[in-house]
Amino acid sequence: MKLHWQILIALVLAVIAGLATGVEGSLLGLRFYDVYTFIGTLFLNGLKMIIVPLVVSSIIVGIAGIGSSRAFGRLGGRTLIYYLATTFISVSIGLLVVNTLTPGIYEGQPLKDVINLTADVSAIADKVEGRGAGDLVDVFLRMVPPNVVAAAANGQMLGLIFFSLLFGFFVARVGEPHAENLYGFWAGIYEVMLQITLFIMRFAPIGVFGLVAVVMADTGASGFLDLMEVLGLFFFSVLLALALHFLVVMPLILHFVAGVNPVRHYRAMAPALLTAFSTASSSATLPLTIECVEKNAGVSNRTSSFVLPLGSTVNMDGTALYECVAAMFIAQAYGLDLSLTQQFVIVLLALLTSIGVAGVPSASLVAITIILGYIGLPLEGIALIYVVDRLLDMCRTAVNVFSDSCGAVVIGRLEGEEGILKN
């Protein structure tokens, strides 16, 4: 059976098992919840374990192979334009949907008057702390890490990526024999990392089961369904906007800009998309994204090694869209009528903060607090969306990963690659 079917079945079983056992269900004194957590964490650790060596070797090999600085500049320019354009489109879709459906108004009243905010704000503040968006200027400071080993150890991907780009660029320029030695060395590491990724991918169905069962058990326990009555429209608005981007905009770009069959690309990316959905982390999914884009979609390492690692932290269409919808929703819920200028500021901030957000679960929340701060909304508004955040996180992460993969296809085609999505 194909891997993505196995993962899909695991997902369905996880929903059933998680809801059935809940947080407290146990057998012979052993809580099911603990078993799910153990399996899920083990799988997640496996994925995270390979990120640093995979990202470093993939970028070095890819960039060292590019050759001239002009070719490098062209690739970088195209990638940047793709990232910005798709993120801007996704935020605009979010803005349109949230203005049309107005999920923050419930039966003519701002939502805040309808429900009592019960969630503990300080607990949420703890949760979002250290998620890595920080101040906007900070994003650029983190790009050049004072200590590259520390950046790698702390999962600061931007810094690690920047160093790897520089390293790869100069590997091609040090002259022989070093250039050849270094290239061979890193190419070897890269191949081994891909093999390890394949090995870990075999456990994806079990890992996904654990991860999703935990989420479902938590969701069942949090009175999710009761809240759905008032938060349902917000939930639906986010899903609708994400679906428009995922099922309409992206295929159109694939068809018209890249000239490939979008259905083939969905099929090629299925294992990575399902893993993104289950882990809610673009970073943890990165090994699978690279594997699927190179092996299934046929994009060269030269393109994917640049577009994908960078994209997993910089290009977050789903996240930017969510930030915009969430901030607008909170404004509506507090009875605030935002002017066009203020809405434009939200769009801009969603775009900028999504660049700095780390590819880890719930990372958007900290970006949303930044946006709320800028437009003067109370931070406790976060408590409104907190309960439904995880499920929406799973969906937006899949969109983030899909947009990165489409970027690799589009840019690969623009760079003249012929073998992309041919079967």
Binding site for ligand ASP (CB under 6 A): 280-282, 316, 319, 357, 359-364, 393, 396-397, 400
3-class SS letters over 259-306: CCCHHHHHHHHHHHHHHHHHHCCHHHHHHHHHHHHHHHCCCCHHHHHH
CB 328 within 8 A of CB 77: no
Exposure string of 37-67, with b = 16+ CB inside 10 Å and e = fewer, is: bebbeebbebbbebbbbbbbbbbbbbbbbbe
Q: Which is nearer to ligand ASP, 17 or 328 (CB)?
A: 328
The least distance separating ligand ASP from the CB of residue 398, rounded to whole angstroms, comes to: 9
- The smaller minimum CB distance to ligand ASP, of residues 249 and 325, is found at 325
CB 337 to ligand ASP: min, Å = 27
Q: How far is the CB of 396 from ligand ASP (least distance, A)?
A: 5
- Which phi-psi region, left, alpha or beta, contains residue 68 (left: φ > 0; alpha: ψ -120 to 50)? beta
DSSP helix, strand, coil percent of the chain (3-state; round to 5): 80, 0, 20
208 vs 357, beta carbon nearer ligand ASP: 357
Q: At closest approach, how far in Å is the CB of 67 from ligand ASP?
A: 32
Instruction: Kindly report the backbone phi and psi dihedral angles of residue 110, in degrees, each rounded to the nearest multiple of 5, phi listed first.
Output: -60, 140
Taking each helix axis as running N to C, give the angle between helix 340-356 and helix 317-333, from 0 to 180 degrees, rounded to the nearest 10: 140
- The C-alpha R_g of the chain, in whole angstroms, comes to 21
SS3 27: strand
Rank residues 165 and 321 by Cβ distance to ligand ASP and give the closer one: 321
> Whose Cβ is closer to ligand ASP: residue 304's or residue 319's?
319
Distance in angstroms (rounded) separating the CA atoms of residues 246 and 99: 20
Tell me how far apart the alpha carbons of residues 315 and 278 are, in angstroms, rounded to a whole number.
19
Nearest approach, Cβ of residue 48 and ligand ASP (Å): 12
DSSP category for residue 375: T
Q: Please tell me what DSSP assigns to residue 258.
A: I
CB of 284 to ligand ASP, least distance (A): 8
Whole-number Å distance between alpha carbons of 199 and 330:
43
The distance of closest approach from Cβ of residue 344 to ligand ASP in the complex, given in angstroms and rounded to an integer, is: 22
Separation in Å, CA 307 to CA 25, 161, 236, 302, 416: 44, 11, 31, 9, 15
CA gap 194, 182 in Å, rounded: 18
Q: Which is nearer to ligand ASP, 216 or 280 (CB)?
A: 280
Query: 104 to each of 114, 235, 279, 321, how far by Cα in Å?
Result: 10, 11, 28, 16
| Distance of closest approach, residue 360 Cβ to ligand ASP, in angstroms | 6
Smallest separation (angstroms) from ligand ASP to the CB of 34: 24
Nearer to ligand ASP, 58 or 400 (CB): 400
Which residue pairs from 114-118 have beta carbons closer than 8 angstroms and sit at least 24 positions apart in sequence?
114/230, 115/227, 115/230, 117/380, 117/383, 117/384, 118/383
Q: Minimum distance between the CB of residue 141 and ligand ASP, rounded to whole angstroms?
A: 21
Residue placing its CB nearer to ligand ASP in the complex, 79 or 319: 319
Closest distance between ligand ASP and the C-beta of residue 267, in Å? 22
Rounding to the nearest 10 degrees, give the CA dihedral for residues 244, 248, 250, 253. -140
Q: Which is nearer to ligand ASP, 193 or 284 (CB)?
A: 284
Nearer to ligand ASP, 216 or 242 (CB): 242
- Look at residues 390, 82, 354 and name the one whose alpha carbon lies nearest to residue 213: 390
Task: Give whichever of 90 and 319 is closer to ligand ASP, judged by the CB atom.
Answer: 319
